[in-house]
Amino acid sequence: MRFRVSHTTEYLYKQPASESFAELRVWPQSNESQKVIERCLITDPETLIDSYVDYFGNMVEFFSIPHRHTKLTVTSVAEVETFVVEPSERVLEVTIGEARQIYNSSLYQHYEFLKPCGLVPLNQHYSIRKKFFQQGEEIGKAILALNSWIYKKFEYKSGVTDVSTPISTIVKERRGVCQDFAHLMLAILRSNGIPARYVSGYIEAYDPTLGEPEMVGAAASHAWVEVCLPGGTWWGLDPTNNQSAGERHVVVAVGRDYNDVAPMRGTYMGANDQKLNVMVSLKRNPLAGAQE
């Protein structure tokens, strides 16, 4: 499938800002499940944009606006082609006990995705994590069971949490949004010795060819999880929608938690107040295949 992705962030300042500095992770990745056909970043006011690749392989762009301005608009536009990539049945049938032996033999390769981090503590909720990943279970079935459990036990409700809401509150209240469910799933996976990473990106709201119900979390940036299977394959799971990540998911960045992949962060000087607007669009291009 081919998608046109647009992500606009707009800051409106009550009083003019004298300077602004920003760092962005909104450039979709090219990997085995997707290819970036074209991509651009537009700022208003216009300015020079530089970039680098961070520790986790994400493309990071940064810029400064060194003069007075009353608003800042940043728009990322990309055309991305996605593909179906499924893990092999043989890998999914590996038992948890066997998988742990494989992971233990190469801990250094996935150290960051096994250890606790700021938004994913591992020393909590023992009663929950011990329900999953018994030694004799097949790893594929165990991961899908966890994905389904979060979907069924937790209510998607926007506005009741923010990025700083601890997992303990999510577990207590049993509600949150996609980033909360991703953090919870990461905590359970890592505390069971399964390396996993946080993914930010976008999903298509609904499939126009099937008329299915709209997927949850499609109105803005989305978050899900990738699990490292024995052998090194990364498998995407979306607990918000109780499915594996597929052609309708577009990956932007990966990391230990949200703090590693925040779409935009920065600072400004001279303004006392601001208003933030974010607009995300992911639209299928049905003519892309015919044009090639």
Q: Which residue has the tokens 């490292």?
A: 228
Contact 125, 265 (CB under 8 A): no
Domain limits, the chain:
2-82+262-291, 89-245
C-alpha 43 chain-centroid distance: 23
Residue 159 CA neighbour count, 13 Å, CB half = 0
State whether the Cα torsion 22-28-32-37 is positive or negative: negative
Q: How many residues does the chain have?
A: 292
Backbone angles phi, psi at 118, to 5 degrees: -50, -45
Q: What is the pLDDT of residue 215?
A: 80
CATH architecture of the domain covering 2-82+262-291: Sandwich (2.60)
**CA nearest 161: which of 147, 178, 146?**
178
What's the rounded Cα separation, in Å, for the pair 61 and 252? 13
For 109-157, write each residue's pLDDT tens digit.
899 999 999 999 997 776 788 889 999 999 999 999 999 999 999 999 9
Contact 261, 182 (CB under 8 A): no
- Asked if the model's pLDDT at residue 289 lies above 60, the reply is no
For 1-33, write each residue's pLDDT tens digit.
999 999 999 999 988 999 999 999 999 999 999
Contact 1, 284 (CB under 8 A): yes
Contact 80, 37 (CB under 8 A): yes
What's the rounded Cα separation, in Å, for the pair 231 and 223? 24
What's the rounded Cα separation, in Å, for the pair 292 and 279? 30
Question: What percent of the chain lies above the pLDDT cut of 70?
Answer: 96
The pLDDT of 185-193, averaged and rounded, is 95
pLDDT level of residue 216 (50, 70, 90 thresholds): confident
Q: What is the pLDDT of residue 286?
A: 67
For 25-83, write each residue's pLDDT tens digit.
999 999 999 999 999 999 999 999 999 999 999 999 999 999 999 999 999 999 999 99
Residue 167 zone, left/alpha/beta (φ > 0; ψ -120 to 50; rest): alpha
Radius of gyration of the chain (CA): 20
Does domain 89-245 sit in CATH 3.40.50.10190?
no
Backbone angles phi, psi at 171, to 5 degrees: -65, -40
Q: What is the pLDDT of residue 225?
A: 98
* Bridge partner list, 31: 34
The pLDDT of 229-241, averaged and rounded, is 95
Please tell me the pTM assigned to this model. Answer: 0.93
The pLDDT of 257-262, averaged and rounded, is 97
What's the rounded Cα separation, in Å, for the pair 267 and 20? 6
Helix (H), strand (E) at residue 3: strand 2-17
